[in-house]
Amino acid sequence: MKSLKIFIVLIAFTFSVSAKKEAETKLSWDAIKVADNLYMLIGVGGFTGGNLAISVGDDGVILIDDAMPSTLDIMNKALAKITPNSIDFLINTHIHGDHTGNNEVMGKNGARIVAHKNMRRHLLSKGVRGADGKKMDAPKKSLPVITFSESMDFHLNGLDAHVFHLPHAHTDGDAAVHFTNVNVIHMGDTMFNKIFPFMDFSSGGTLDGYIEAQKTVLGLVDENTKIIPGHGVLANKKDLENSITMLEDARAIIGKLVDEDKTEEEVVKLNPLAKYDAWSWGFITTEKMTKQVYKGVSLSGE
């Protein structure tokens, strides 16, 4: 009987170890060529962090965002397939750890980090999470060394990259990168494609600013534009239009309930965004989206 017990424990242990290994090994980054010298990197097999973009060529390597510490190894593997060279410039679209989690490593390896000035300000005041999950001061090498207020431009590898600020959208330090001469734009987390977005009100994001940011970008794109969202698959103009439609509709539906002085709890109970259930995902469920829009409308003072 005792040996049977040990056997069962052993089997269970073997299964849990192999399941963990499988979970670790099934994650990877896929590279999608979006233009000459320009790739989008998207995680497959689970959550690997925000979507990346990389430009390679005679003038150097520019990386947009750098995911999370837990996916550094597989990210490096994917980057090595594209270029043997190290990163010269790293552009952070915003402060969140799933977009900036490897900044210190990148900085130590010589990358010059570029971001909106508010992103650097937040990084200095809020700090980062260490390997143990605890808050700590942002390491010096993780900080942007070049910041901008409105916009700036890179002219490297045959690409004209217009980096510009979208105010009070996902945060108050959002940057989008528009590769104007090849019709590609990386929107950071001002765009989640086909899934509910997240708005970080505690970092200066707003519901109306978020919608406004998407409308600003809509004015820059055409039917052939490749839109790299912060999360979700490669998007196009139609996807951006669908996102704006969903957000404006959600705002109108919940705005009306706020006007009727309904509490958040009452609104959640009505499930007013049920028709958008297809947009629900692990991080932002329909209920969480309902609460977020409720808060966004309430904070807007209407």
Residues found near Zn ion in the complex (CB under 5 A): 96, 189
Of 66 and 189, CB closest to Zn ion: 189
Transcribe the chain into DSSP letters.
-HHHHHHHHHHHHHHHHHHHHHHHHT-EEEEEEEETTEEEEEEESS---S-EEEEEETTEEEEE----GGGHHHHHHHHHHH-SSPPSEEE-SSS-HHHHTTHHHHHHTTPEEEEEHHHHHHHHHH-EE-TTS-EEPPPGGGS-SEEESSEEEEEETTEEEEEEEETTSSSSSEEEEEETTTTEEE-GGG-BSSS-----GGGT--HHHHHHHHHHHHTT--TT-EEE-SBSS-B-HHHHHHHHHHHHHHHHHHHHHHHTT--HHHHHHH-TTGGGGGG--SSS-HHHHHHHHHHHHHHTT-
Of 79 and 169, CB closest to Zn ion: 169
Minimum separation from the CB atom of position 162 to Zn ion (A): 21
Of 172 and 189, CB closest to Zn ion: 189
Minimum separation from the CB atom of position 279 to Zn ion (A): 17
Minimum separation from the CB atom of position 223 to Zn ion (A): 28
Minimum separation from the CB atom of position 179 to Zn ion (A): 21
Of 75 and 156, CB closest to Zn ion: 75
Of 104 and 189, CB closest to Zn ion: 189
Minimum separation from the CB atom of position 158 to Zn ion (A): 30
Structure tokens at 288: 């969480």
Residue 159 has φ and ψ, to the nearest 5°, of: -115, 140
Of 272 and 296, CB closest to Zn ion: 296
Minimum separation from the CB atom of position 51 to Zn ion (A): 11
Minimum separation from the CB atom of position 96 to Zn ion (A): 4
Of 96 and 186, CB closest to Zn ion: 96
